[in-house]
Amino acid sequence: MSTIFASLAVASQTTKLGTETSSDYGPGFLGFLFTAVMVVAVIFLIRDMARRVRRVRYTSEAESKQQDMVAKGESRTLQEPEGPADPKTDEAQ
């Protein structure tokens, strides 16, 4: 058992354990900068993905409502105006 302690004492004296400075290890500023850029990129990607998923969901809901209306036999006819309309008075000319 004493040989283990003796070898640890010799190893600690030769490797100088506990004398490291903060600049001896760690990613440093470059690692922080890379991580920050990755976080910002992921935030923008998640926002874009949520927007696209929402758009797909609304499109599928509109299509299903349209298919339901067709199945029920309802039809909406678009009434086109007879002439140009004045946007200031909302009257047909």
- pLDDT tens string, the chain, 93 residues long: the values are 677 767 766 666 655 556 666 566 778 899 999 999 999 999 999 999 999 998 888 888 888 888 888 888 766 655 666 767 777 776 655
Question: Within 10 Å of residue 3's Cβ, how many Cβ atoms?
Answer: 7
Task: Identify the three-state secondary structure at position 18.
Answer: coil
> Residue 48: how many CA atoms within 13 Å on its side-chain side?
6
pLDDT at 11: 65
Are 41 and 33 within 8 A, CB to CB?
A: no
What's the one-letter identity of residue 34? Answer: F
pLDDT at 36: 97
pLDDT at 44: 97
The DSSP symbol for 86 reads E
pLDDT at 59: 84
pLDDT at 50: 94
End-to-end CA distance of the chain: 107
**Where does 1-93 have alpha helices with state H?**
2-15, 28-72
**Whether the predicted model's global pTM rises above the 0.75 cut:** no
pLDDT at 90: 63
